[in-house]
Amino acid sequence: MSTHLVPSQDQVGQTNLSPLTKKSLSLPPMELKPLPSHLKYAYLDSQRQLPVIIANNLHQQQQDKLLEVLRQHKKAIDVVKKEVTKLLAVGIIYPISNSQWVSPVQVVPKKFGMAVIKNQQDELEPMRIQKSWQVYIDYRKLNQATRKDHFPLPFIDQVLEKLAGKSHYCFLDGFSGYMKIHIAPED
């Protein structure tokens, strides 16, 4: 049954064995989980094999533009998926059920080095060599929603300025009440 997958003598060493190999392999059935009401599935291919999760409130034109960008950058999606899986495994991030503070992710090529390559006019041009990708997370929305601390800790120089010329220093720690510390008169 799988005899058509065996390469002939002239195909040995080639990367593309035959057009039958991709079509003859059946993909496992995909099970999609139910999503919250503000999200929905969209597909990057016509066979409905590459699902992505998008916002439910997008207009058709916005959805088409988003899917077009995602189709052009499938490799970046794979990079993000691998990076998120790695961060989950290490325990740096953890899954949450639903949050309005989900932070957008950007994938940027890492700068690796320079190479000189001929262009179409046979001129030498310096080009950046890209070997891998760097994943960045934009936390600006989350930072805007974070409450400011109304009682921040004072800087050490502010504390020392207030202590200058005083003979006693008292601090409350809420556990042992208070404590008085004598300060040498020359300090």
Per-residue model confidence as pLDDT tens digits over 58-99 = 999 999 999 998 888 888 888 888 888 888 898 888 877 666
What mean pLDDT comes out for the span 31-53? Answer: 86
Contact at 8 Å (CB) between 112 and 128? Answer: yes
- Same domain? For 79 and 130 the reply is no
Flag whether 128 is in a domain.
Answer: yes
- Same domain? For 78 and 40 the reply is yes
Long-range contacts of 55-59 (CB under 8 A, 24+ apart): none
pLDDT at 42 over 50: yes
- Same domain? For 40 and 85 the reply is yes
- Same domain? For 41 and 85 the reply is yes
What mean pLDDT comes out for the span 41-67? Answer: 89
Contact at 8 Å (CB) between 140 and 132? Answer: no
- Could you give the number of structural domains in the chain? 2
Flag whether 23 is in a domain.
Answer: no
Flag whether 11 is in a domain.
Answer: no
Flag whether 148 is in a domain.
Answer: no
Q: Per the structure block, which two tokens stand in for 69?
A: 């960008």
Q: What percent of the chain has pLDDT over 70?
A: 71
Flag whether 55 is in a domain.
Answer: yes
Q: How confident is the model at residue 26 (pLDDT cuts 50, 70, 90)?
A: low
Q: Per the structure block, which two tokens stand in for 56?
A: 């439910």
- Same domain? For 121 and 68 the reply is no
- Same domain? For 63 and 116 the reply is no
User: When comparing pLDDT for 182 and 74, which is higher?
Assistant: 74
- Same domain? For 91 and 127 the reply is no
pLDDT score, position 57: 92
Flag whether 25 is in a domain.
Answer: no
Task: Print the domain residue range for 120.
Answer: 103-138
The helix (H) or strand (E) run that includes residue 108 is strand 105-109
- Same domain? For 39 and 77 the reply is yes
Flag whether 90 is in a domain.
Answer: yes
Eight-state DSSP code of residue 145: H
Average pLDDT, the chain: 75
- Same domain? For 107 and 83 the reply is no
